[in-house]
Structure 1
Amino acid sequence: MAVDDTPTFHEVVPLDELRETGRTLTAVDGTPIAVFHHEGEVRAVNNRCPHMGFPLTEGSVEEGVLTCHWHHARFELSCGDTFDPWADDVDTYPVEVRDGVVYVAPEPRRSEPPAEHWRSRLDDGLEQDIRLVLAKSAVGLLDNGVDPGEVLDRGVRFGVRNRADGWGSGLTILVALANRLPDLDEQDRKRALYQGLAEVAGDCAGEPPKFDQEAFDAADVPFERLLAWFRENVEVRDADGAERVLRTAVAAGYGPERLTELLVTAATDHRYLDTGHAFDFVNKATEALDRVGWDDDERVADVLASLVRGLATARRAEETSSWRQPVDLAAMCEDTFDRLDDLVAAGEGATWTEPDGFTDRLLAEDPETVFEALETAIRGGASVEQLARAVSLAAVTRVARFATSNEFADWNTVHHTFTFANAVQRAAERTDATALYRGVVDAAVNVYLDRFLNTPPAPEPTGDPDADPAAALEEARLAFEQQGKVEAAGGAVADFLAAGGDSERLKAALGNALLVEDTDFHTFQAYEAACRQHDARDDPAERRTCLVAAARYMAAHYPTRRSREQTFSIAARLLRGERVDGADGGAAAGAAE
């Protein structure tokens, strides 16, 4: 049986009355509709301005253009299309005049389905860096059943093509938040995508686009030669040459494991590039492909090529005084690396179990103790993943015990070590390249260098098992809303967990606190890495340390002005049909709303 899609018309106003007043407001099936008589024609549009909801009946019409008086958004009256990309198009409705009476059907004339509309608006928001449009798009896409992975893919593709400097903090934030979407409630998933997309758009705003190098025509180059070429080009800081090699490796059909090996080997040829950011970017780019797919060679090549300039131009830690004086840590690293193949060979076939007190040895005051612990473990068969996991715990412990008597900027010092170690561990899940042991050593050296930031260490809370979990969670929330409540936030998290609180609920609460603030790059990283380390561990004390560290770091950086949350709130309310202008709007407007 055919479905009758004929619109149902509702009586609105006598034509003569509309001709005299020029406009009227009606409500049909709960939809507020502004009806205009202009240049001999009757037009009907949604009364809510799509920009921020102001009543369009309070606007003006001239030469076929409807102008909202709040922010001066302009619309072509007959079709609803906007002159101003930041405003969005307004819905228009079919009208009929029967026997001198105007009728309106409340079904909007839409040229495309809602999901397709919001895909297009997402592209507009990214291209023009319009946060309100990005917020509406994130809400509209998820409300219309679009998979978050598709939203991530569109953001990543835009970011890698529209920033000549390549992968940066915006794309890292977007992927980090996408990784944690399962931890968040429905509304916070929309917030997370909005925040990530806004960071990508901001990174690309005003920047020149990236112009690609091409792969070599040779398609049968052995991987070992491609690896040597890639390392050599990065070594001499030739980003264009390195990109051609990388694109050749993709075109040759090498998969995630080999491509990751190519990148992480070059990323560990020098020490702790750009305080760990270069390696973390490599990890986040490969995590992005894990989520959106390695099946499209063009996408893989574009995403990975965006990393090359950063690798080639990165600052190298062995060139800094802290790695050379008073102890030549870079030379100690090279000594270990010279023997790395032999150490790995000695441990081949052996099974390593982390010994008691291993974390304490990594936190030692003497670098010799740290190097000896690592070398003994490698000789005993420890994998990169096992060692990176242990170093990550030592690094997050530095954050959990960071003394607030230090300078505020030093929060980032311990933070960088932790997120770098976390990235090395994640990369080890994708490739078993021996070069990754160098990343483990780099992270351990930084744990050693960070020791003074735990002098004296802040006491790490263990929590009160008799605490009320709900009250502890509220205490944590209040700590984020007051400046400097670092210990209160850490203590509240420890109390919550000690009293049997559900860590999934805690991660969601921390995620909400993260997303309602004007959070910076490092704080997004801190939350994501801490949650990941928490999830990868079974020991309750280790899991507690990870989330205490996250809460302390967040509390040190909160509260903020929450300007981005205001934008998101406006977008969410508009898409729910709520008014945000704060005006009463009169009896007719109130009835229509």
Structure 2
Amino acid sequence: MNNDRFEVATVAELEQEGMKVLTADGQPIVVFASNGGFHAVEDRCPHMGFPLSKGTVKDGILTCHWHQARFDLCSGCSFDRFADDTPVFDTIVDKGIVYVYSQPRRAPDAAYFSQGLVRGMEQNSGFTIARSLVMLRRLEIDWSTIIRQVAQFASRNGNSFGTGSTILTIVTNLQPRLTEQTMLFAMFRAVREIAGQAMNAAPRRPVGPLTAGDHSMALLKRWYRHWVQSRHGDAAERVLLTALHRQVLETGIDKAIVDLIAGAATDRIYDSGGHLLDNVNKVMELLDHVGWEQAEATYPLLTDVMASGRGAEESSHWHHPIDIVTPLRDVEARLPELLAAGAGKTWQDDDSLLPTLLGDDPLAIIAVLEDALIAGATPLQLARVVCYAAGLRLARFGLSNEVGDWFGPQHAFITANAMHGILQRCTTPDIARGVFHNAIAVYMDRFLNIPPAALPGEAGGLDHLSTDANELLAAMLDALDRKDRTELLAELVSRYVELGHPFDALVDRLMYATVREDVNFHYFQVLEAAVSQVADQPHTPHAAHILAGIARNLSAICPTARASLQLITVAARLSKGERVHEG
């Protein structure tokens, strides 16, 4: 593009008037006379697009009075974190005439906005993050590159695998099913969460691997579990790094690594309300996307929660009125022989376990899972059955419960899905015991289904709803605009599923519906868990029930203030040249 110069005014005119506005190659530019020189910037505040020509200049500082963002007039750099730098244009005086060049001093290329994304995360500047994401995509930078950059920032600047990294992994997993707009909005939520956590995180003091010795994986596993149980985070991290350096960097991801970490995560029963197991699964999923060469930087983020977690065995309601912990520990000890007894047999899920899994006898739940293993059921098969049972807890959640009561079934469903994901990588007894833990977690939420809510269409069918896919998708968003429509979204989703409409469009709509609300990360977790569970058979009754459950979960708290997406929406509009300040 040519860097042509455009006439602004005579020196005398500009010095007298103080400022001139013009359009050069389609972009608005304002030229100021200040401190004996002439300085040009884009006539749009990089914060919200307000004309900088309506601002004031004093001692070389330009102030935009809409939100009081201030800029160095010479460099365009912002003095305030909430506003990005503004482009500057060179000026020249020729024969008493002031000219401005049509191209900014520094072309805002991919490197510029990549640096802006990092700066936005470092400063927790929402608008800088939003603008950088929008412009990187306009410059056709692929999502995988952006995701890798954000993940690396999180591992360098965080002290744990937090909610932001969890949302980032969820968004990355679902990205192939999302439209550009939904992906942009979801990515902004993830990056903003990571930036906020990094801003408040104490600096990590990483330790290195053990530098000498031929440590077997069996020994490292024993040491790791010992230090985790002893809550000695530094020692656990050092052992983990030794195992990672030996296995991952030399041979790639190995089942022994999965067994070491996930096995330790199930030493405590339903550790941290299930969050630990989901974190373990999410770390592995994220590394699948960004590359396992990042393992040594990413896995240590699990150390704090791994070493400081509390197991359900420390909670009184797992001991009273029925002691469930002792039977669980007993079956854990027998798992190797149970798995051996079922080896070579074939087991088919026919939903016959569900009445017991959703019943009120925890000992019967343990027994029926034992019998299934002996009959040839694999831990992976049972994990999926337990996950479906957990999904039914959401689908049949009674609305007489408090909104906060959703957290229990949310955690059970999320953790059951995480166990299913981990078992696809490794099925050792130390990991498989988590299936029993999760089944009892589902049992613990039984009173939240009294009385059980009806499944969509169970009472009178769904034929009163449209058969058109686009009409159903549009109605889903409308259903979340009022507080008294908790069941409508679930009915619309079930109708869409039973008619066999495109699954990806439904996932995109549910993600958009989630990301536009001011909700915490649990709502992203349950959505992604549902997609993971039904993706291979998205039009079955099981799929409809699971998706109805997460739809009811979201509907129960909608609508919220919906302030989360304001910045990314404004950034997208400004990138198109819209005059946001005019409405």
Both structures adopt the same fold (TM-score exceeding 0.5): yes
* Counterpart mapping for 1:419-568 below 5 A: 419-462=414-457, 464-465=462-463, 467-468=465-466, 469=468, 470-537=470-537, 540-568=540-568
Q: Which runs of 5+ in 2 are unaligned?
A: none
8 Å CA contact 1:10–1:28 kept in 2: the answer is: yes
Counterpart of 1:212 (choices 198, 202, 206) is 206
The amino acid across from 2:115 in the alignment is S
Q: Is the contact between residue 465 and residue 498 of structure 1 (CA under 8 Å) also seen in structure 2?
A: no
Contact 1:384 1:437 in 2 (8 A): yes
- Aligned partner of 2:405 in structure 1 is 410
Find out whether 1:398 has 2:393 as its counterpart. Answer: yes
C-alpha contact 2:10 2:98 (8 A) present in aligned 1: yes
1:266 and 2:261 aligned: no
**Count of paired positions:** 574
* TM-score scaled by length of structure 1: 0.92
* Aligned residue number for residue 25 of structure 1: 21
How many angstroms apart in 1 are the aligned matches of 2:536 and 2:134? 31
Cα offsets for 1:431-489 (capped at 9, x unmatched):
23222211111111112222211112100014525631344333322221112522122
Q: Deviation digits for residues 71-99 of structure 1, max 9, x if unmatched? A: 23222223322233332221122333333
- The 5 Å alignment of 1:48-197 reads 48-110=44-106, 113-164=108-159, 166-197=160-191
Q: CA deviation at 1:492?
A: 1.9
Query: Do 1:346 and 1:379's aligned partners in 2 also have CA atoms closer than 8 Å?
Result: yes
Runs of 4+ that moved beyond 6 A: none
1:201 — aligned with what? 195
Which has the larger displacement, 265-274 or 60-69?
Answer: 60-69
1:221 maps to which residue? Answer: 215
The corresponding residue for 1:280 is: 278
Inter-CA distance 120–341: structure 2 relative to 1 (3 Å threshold) = same
Q: 1:304 aligns with which of 275, 292, 299?
A: 299
Q: Tell whether the 8 Å contact from 2:224 to 2:239 is kept in structure 1 after alignment.
A: yes
Identify which range, 226-235 or 73-82, moves more after superposition: 73-82
Cα distance in 1, alignment partners of residues 484 and 210 from structure 2: 55
2:63/2:69 contact within 8 Å kept: yes
Q: SS at 2:89's partner residue?
A: coil
Cα distance in structure 2, aligned partners of 1:383 and 1:147: 39
Secondary structure of the equivalent of 1:252?
Answer: helix
Is residue 71–residue 78 contact of structure 2 (8 Å, CA) maintained in 1?
Answer: yes
Match of 2:287 in 1: 289
Match of 1:37 in 2: 33
Tell me whether 76-85 or 284-293 shows the greater mean CA deviation. 76-85
- Secondary structure class of the residue paired with 2:247: coil
User: In structure 2, do the counterparts of structure 1 residues 62 and 199 end up closer, same or farther at CA, with 3 Å as the change threshold?
Assistant: same
Deviation at 1:213, TM superposition (A): 1.4
CA contact (8 A) 1:219 1:248 kept: no
Structure 1 counterpart of 2:578: 578
Task: Give the structure 2 partner of residue 379 of structure 1.
Answer: 374
1:301-360 Cα deviation digits (max 9, x unpaired): 121111011011111101212211122111111111111010111122233222342333
CA–CA separation in structure 2 for the residues paired with 1:563 and 1:416: 26
Structure 1 unmatched ranges of 5 or more: 584-593
| Cα separation, 2, equivalents of 1:173 and 1:159 | 12
Match of 1:20, SS?
helix
Q: Determine the C-alpha separation between the residues in 2 that align with 1:108 and 1:168.
A: 39
Aligned to 2:243: 249
Query: Aligned partners of 1:147 and 1:210: how far apart in 2?
Result: 30
Q: Secondary structure at the match of 1:364?
A: coil
Structure 1 counterpart of 2:234: 240
Percent identity for Structure 1 against Structure 2: 37
- Displacement of 1:261 in angstroms is 1.4
Give the distance between the partners of 1:332 and 1:485, measured in 2 at CA: 43
Residues in 1 aligned to 2:426 and 2:148: alpha-carbon distance in whole angstroms: 23
Worse overlay, 313-322 or 65-74 = 65-74
- Helix, strand or coil: the match of 1:253? helix
1:7 deviation in Å?
2.0
Q: Is the 8 A contact 1:138 1:190 kept in 2?
A: yes
Taking the aligned partners of 2:125 and 2:36, their CA distance within structure 1 comes to 36
The 10-residue stretch of structure 1 (378-387 or 392-401) with the greater mean CA deviation from structure 2 = 378-387
Using the alignment, how far apart are the partners of 2:311 and 2:440 within structure 1?
14
> CA–CA distance in 2 between the matches of 1:539 and 1:325?
41
Q: Aligned partners of 2:24, 2:133: CA distance in 1, in Å?
A: 28
Matched residues in 1 for 2:476 and 2:66: separation? 39
**1:586 corresponds to which residue?**
none
Alignment TM-score, normalising by the size of structure 2: 0.94
Deviation at 1:283, TM superposition (A): 0.9
Maintained 8 Å contact 1:80/1:89: yes
Distance 2:527 2:538 in 1: 19
